[in-house]
Amino acid sequence: MKVLCLRVRRELMLIDGKICRERRCYNCCLETEMILTPSDIARICSLGYRLDDFARFDGTYWRLKNRAGRCVFLRDDGLCAIYEHRPLGCRAYPVIEDNGVAVPDFEYCPAAHLMPWEEYVEMARVLQRVFEELGEPVPRILRRSEFEELKRRATR
């Protein structure tokens, strides 16, 4: 007898922004310090935006601009005007780099504790692409046991 195993992909609530939209949360778009990669800049410029419209140079990196404390692409309805073309760092969030390690931002993102392991890994890989593109040391992805322990401690 043959047993068929179908791997069902979990709903990716943070990667696709579903949970953020449901909760009407855009904390990560407030006072953003998001670094832009060269591919981010090219992608956004291809939409017709000029670099000065959306980015500022801090002496080391290009970063998303804020207007009145909000990302320049955050619309009044709380949605991103360029969501399908958003920067890699935005795609990776709430996974951030901390001391050379890709970790969930449990402190600032109210939904980070809902992230399953598989989603963390996918987002951490996007974060690694950011660092690779910038020519910076690539953050290490947590082992599953490390991720689960961090998550456990964050939800206490």
**Residue ranges of E strands in 4-148:** 35-36, 55-57, 62-64, 66-67, 70-71, 95-98, 101-104, 140-141
Yes or no: say if 39 and 112 are a contact pair by the CB < 8 Å rule. no
pTM of the full structure: 0.88
Yes or no: say if 13 and 19 are a contact pair by the CB < 8 Å rule. yes
pLDDT digits (tens, 9 = 90+) for 57-73: 999 999 999 999 999 99
pLDDT digits (tens, 9 = 90+) for 68-108: 999 999 999 999 999 999 999 999 999 999 999 999 999 99
Task: Please report the pLDDT score of residue 24 as a whole number.
Answer: 85
Mean of all residue pLDDT scores within the chain: 90
Question: Above 60 in pLDDT, residue 6?
Answer: no
Residue 105, CA distances (Å) to 86, 94, 98, 113 in order: 19, 5, 9, 9
The two tokens of residue 5 are 């195993």
